[in-house]
Amino acid sequence: MAALRKLLIATTNRGKLREFQDLLAGVPYQLTTPDQEGIDLQVDETGTTYEENARLKAIAYAQAGGLLTLADDSGLEVEALGGAPGPFAARFGGPGLTDAQRVAFLLAHLEGVPPEKRAARFRCVIVLATPEATPRWVSCEGNCKGRIAFEPHGSQGFGYDPIFFLPDLGQTMAELSPGVKNRVSHRAQAAAHAREHLVRGWPDPFVPD
């Protein structure tokens, strides 16, 4: 049996890696990580949209590793904050903050805002890219609507998951089991579209330089 081609998951975030390994289980590729491939790379996310940032990362890692690569960019958009922090969610509040500190920083900006005005959504864009000198790429998007809780709850997720409340489920994203989260999350929806491309054999034919 021929060995499966590798698909590089371009993130060092352990939470994301676990989710992608679950979400992409069964695709006709061998999933691999930057650590496994010996890739030590920092990509400046200079884009102003999720797609731009995901594309920058996907192409940079694809060319560094010589592999078909998947990268994502995601963010939290809060209506009461005019859609902020958006693509800058991972840097909201400044560099060097922990997830808990960013959550506290966001909650401080919503102090006194009532439940009906705390609407928010998570958005995720995944980009698949080839390592060719002129790379080919395709993007996939997902989003999940909810509202911002008044305090963190749950320990299953990462990032802003503990304060992202899903009214239909009565729990925050961080209170969901991995199985439920991987059905309803923004990343799950984007990954489902990416899975469709991968199962169909995108990009076929694939001949790297």
Please say whether the beta carbons of 149 and 107 come within 8 A. Answer: no
Q: Of residues 35, 40, 44, 73, which has the active-site annotation?
A: 73
Burial of 138 per CB tally in 10 Å (0-12, 13-18, 19+): middle
DSSP, residue by residue, the chain: -PPPPEEEE----HHHHHHHHHHTTTSSSEEE-HHHHT---------SSHHHHHHHHHHHHHHHHTSEEEEEEEEEEEGGGTT-EETTGGGTT-TT--HHHHHHHHHHHTTT--GGG-EEEEEEEEEEE--SSS--EEEEEEEEEEEE-SS---SS--TTGGGEEETTTTEEGGGS-HHHHHHHSHHHHHHHHHHHHHHTTSSSS----
Active site residue 73: yes
Catalytic residues: 73
